[in-house]
Structures are given as C-alpha cells and as structure tokens.
C-alpha cells in the first residue's frame, strides 16, 4: 500500500536526517510517488509524523489488549505475556520503534498531544493487571504509577537504548534470539520487584532447571 | 566564561531546532560573540557537540566517583548516594541532561565514539559497588550487567522521559522537591530488587515510620 510505503520511507529519512532535515519531496521521491500524494494522504509532513506515531502506538496498545486476553494462571504471567508481545511487536518494526520512542522523549506540545492518549491507555491496562495480581495475592502492593513507569520502561528500553543493549547482550535488539534472552532477564528482575513475598515463581525456577539440565 | 556561554547557547538551540537545524552563526549570535570564536574554541559545530557531551559526561562520572568516597554502612547505601548525586547533577543542568541523554539514544558512529568511554567508566564504577555489596552479603548475587543497565536506567530516566515523569509525579524533574520524592521511590524498588533476602533496609523502614509519625 502506498500509505504504508510512505510511512516507511519517512521513518528511514526522519531517522537518518531528522524531521526538520527531511523534505516532503524526498519522502515522495523515496516512495516513488508524486509529491502531491503526501498531501493527499497526510495533509503534509506534520500529518505524516502524526500518522507514523499513531499507527505505531495503536498497534502497540492492541498487542497489550490481546496479551491480556490470553489465559494464564495469574496476573504476573499476564504481565510477562504483555512484555513479550510488546518486545516482539517492536522487534518486527525496530526502526519505527526506535524513532517513535525517541520522539516521545521530546517535550513539545505536538508530541504530548499525539502520545498522551496512548500513555493513558497503556497505564490503564497495566493498572488493571497489577490490581488483579494484588487481589490474587500474587503481586505485592506498591504504588501503581511507579511500578508501571518502571515496568514499561524496562520493556521499551532496548529499542531506545540500542548502544547500551548491544554492550550488555552483545547483540542488536532486532536479532531474533534477543527477545527470548531479554525476557528471561526481565522475568528474574520483575519477580523480585513485583511478586509477593513467599510467592515463588515456579515457571522461572523450572525454566532455570530445564536450562541447567540440557 | 565564553566557552561555557557558547555551550549553553548551543544546548538551547540544539534542543529547540535540532543539531542539523542550528547554524554556527546562530550560536555565535546567541552568545554575543564573533562567529570565528566558535571555530577557535571548538573547531566547528561537531566539535561543539562533542564538547557539550564530554563536559556533561565527565561531570557525571566525577559525581559517581565522589559519591563512592562517602562513608556508608554498606554498598547499598553507596548505590543510593550515587543515585542521589546523579539526580542532583542532572537537576542542576536539566536542559543539558535531557539533550545529552536524548543524543545518546542515537545509534551513530559519532555518538558511539563520544559516549562509549563514559559508559564503560560508569559500568566499572557500578560493578565495583555491586561486587562489594555481594561480598558484604547485603546485595543479592545477580548478573552485573543487567542490574547496572536497569539501575542506571532508573536513575537517568526522569530527565529523558519528561512527559512520563510529569504524569506520575505531577511535577517537572527540575522542580526542587522532585529528587527527594524520586529517591524515596527508587529506594523502595531497589531494595526489593537488589537486597539479599533477609536483609532489611533499616533506614527505609525508619524513614517511612518518620514520615508516618509526622
């Protein structure tokens, strides 16, 4: 689809030359279409940036919602499912992920307008799962906002802090084995920070034993 | 000092107009100096960016080193001291902090060259403290790289994710009470994730009791 191709071309150009350094003409040329089509689809460069971010963030929220529907023994496992879906979603579109996450660190009115709805939805979904986990007696009571801020920070981090991840994991986050590796570490850390004292993360222990016995 | 004034002017211009969108002429004009002085001090715009980042990162490493010299009952408290020093350092120069942290998310050769030395120093310092804590029996054994990646991530995060912090804490990270608030939350989270099972964070409990009794 032309629209998707334009978004893809824009992502590459914005990433390498910056939003200000990229012209609508270049985006059209890279897509192989007439420059007027950019206006037709997006109403200009700002509209294109907005579509690029909204598309990405909507897909991200959908993945979280789908992950929450998967049946799991407890809310902690649902959190892990959400993390995995998010990681795979970003891995599939790592350039777009990096661009969007980087844009979200900008403190401008435009970015705030585009992102605040999605941040609120994300917070709402994680809140529901955390509260469920507290009711189940699996997750330790803690300030929700703070917990969400750090958990989602850890999930999204690899695709923003490329350089750091490469140093620690000796691979790029877009390489296939990365998600599995990262998830294992995330689970270990999250079970210490989130699980109620006395609740043992059986699947983590058994996965360690499996790994050790192979 | 003229050099510092130039760096300050460049930080403001780079933040609002981007590196590519800012000219050496504008930086000189904003500083109130002749354009040739930029070349004299920095050899051009790229040199200025480098100086801006190196100055910031060198100051940051110095703060970590100083924090490690403060006498504390154990290595966990030293980690907290390092976190506090880092937070105060960034709060003092929040615009510069935000700019540098954002630049560090770029995956370019230039940025990698500028930052890798500092990332290695930072990792080395945190490694030393974590190992000390494990020897003391205060900090739980865990993969060092992973622990450092997340701990420093949490410390540096507020100045990069401005929008998110504002939503959670209802204040800007540059507002004076922010560091105290954030530190309290960070301590609670870190003591769960880092402290050895059975080791109770006395100062956290007593600070909660103090807060409750006031």
Q: pLDDT at position A211, please?
A: 47
B49/B115 Cα distance (integer angstroms): 12
Contact A143 B104 (CB under 8 A): no
Report residue A213: phi and psi, to 5°.
Answer: -85, -10
Question: Exposed, middle or buried by CB within 10 Å (0-12, 13-18, 19+), for B212?
Answer: exposed
Q: pLDDT at position A205, please?
A: 53
Q: pLDDT at position B98, please?
A: 93
Q: In the predicted model, what is the mean pLDDT of residues A22-29?
A: 93
- Residue B110, CA distances (Å) to A67, A160, A172, B69, B107 in order: 39, 17, 18, 33, 9
Q: Does A26 touch chain B (CB under 8 A)?
A: no
A139: which strand partners? A195
The B residues from 183 to 202 touching A (CB cutoff 8 Å) are 185, 188-189, 192-193
Domains B1-43 and B52-198 share a fold: no
Contact A107 B115 (CB under 8 A): no
CA distance B108 to chain A (A): 9
Look-up: residue for tokens 């192989």? A32
In the predicted model, residues of chain B with pLDDT beneath 50 are 208-214
Nearest one of B139, B141, B125 to B190, comparing CA atoms:
B139
B92/B98 Cα distance (integer angstroms): 12
**CATH of region B52-198:** 1.10.357.10
Contact B119 A168 (CB under 8 A): no
The top-level CATH class assigned to A49-198 is: mainly alpha
- Taking only the tens place, the pLDDT of each residue in B33-60 is 999 998 899 999 999 999 999 999 999 9
Q: In the predicted model, what is the mean pLDDT of residues A136-162?
A: 91
Chain A CA closest to residue B116: A163
- Taking only the tens place, the pLDDT of each residue in A168-210 is 888 999 999 999 999 999 998 899 889 987 777 666 555 544 4
Q: In the predicted model, what is the mean pLDDT of residues A57-62?
A: 98
Q: Please, which pLDDT band fits residue A67 given cuts at 50, 70 and 90? A: very high
- Residue A11, CA distances (Å) to A86, A96, A105 in order: 19, 6, 17
Residue to test with chain A: of B23, B142, B192, most A Cβ within 10 A: B192
Q: Does A171 touch chain B (CB under 8 A)?
A: no
Q: pLDDT at position B203, please?
A: 60
- The yes/no answer on whether domain A1-43 falls in CATH 1.10.10.60 is yes
B119/B104 Cα distance (integer angstroms): 10
B114/B106 Cα distance (integer angstroms): 12
Element (H, E) at B76: helix B75-92
How is chain B split into domains, by residue range? 1-43, 52-198
Q: pLDDT at position A204, please?
A: 55
> Which of B17, B18, B189 is opposite residue A193, by nearest beta carbon?
B189
Contact A42, A168 (CB under 8 A): no
Q: Render the burial of B176-210: b for 16+ CB within 10 Å, e for the rest.
A: eebbeebbebbbbbbbbbbbeeebebeebeeeeee
Chain B CA closest to residue A161: B105
Q: pLDDT at position A54, please?
A: 95
Question: Exposed, middle or buried by CB within 10 Å (0-12, 13-18, 19+), for B104?
Answer: buried
Q: What is the DSSP string of A128-146?
A: HHHHHHHHHT-B----HHH
Q: pLDDT at position B199, please?
A: 76
- Taking only the tens place, the pLDDT of each residue in A94-115 is 999 999 999 998 878 888 889 9
Q: For residues A65 and B17, which has the higher predicted lDDT (pLDDT)?
A: A65
């Amino acid at each position: 689809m032309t629209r998707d191709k334009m978004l893809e071309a824009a992502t590459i150009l914005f990433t390498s030359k910056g939003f200000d350094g990229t012209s609508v003409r270049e985006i059209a040329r890279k897509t192989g279409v007439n420059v007027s089509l950019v206006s037709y689809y997006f109403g200009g460069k700002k509209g294109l940036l907005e579509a690029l971010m909204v598309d990405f963030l909507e897909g991200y929220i959908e993945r979280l919602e789908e992950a929450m529907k998967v049946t799991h023994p407890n809310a902690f496992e649902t959190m892990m499912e959400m993390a995995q879906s998010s990681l795979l979603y970003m891995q599939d579109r790592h350039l777009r992920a990096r661009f969007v996450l980087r844009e979200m660190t900008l403190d401008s009115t435009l970015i705030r307008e585009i992102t605040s709805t999605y941040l609120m939805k994300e917070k709402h979904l994680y809140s529901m799962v955390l509260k469920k986990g507290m009711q189940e007696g699996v997750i330790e009571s803690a300030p929700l906002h703070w917990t969400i801020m750090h958990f989602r920070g850890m999930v999204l981090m690899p695709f923003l802090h490329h350089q750091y991840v490469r140093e620690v994991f000796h691979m790029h986050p877009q390489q296939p084995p990365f998600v599995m590796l990262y998830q294992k570490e995330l689970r270990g850390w999250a079970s210490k920070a989130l699980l109620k004292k006395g609740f043992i993360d059986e699947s983590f222990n058994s996965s360690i034993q499996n790994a050790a016995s192979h």
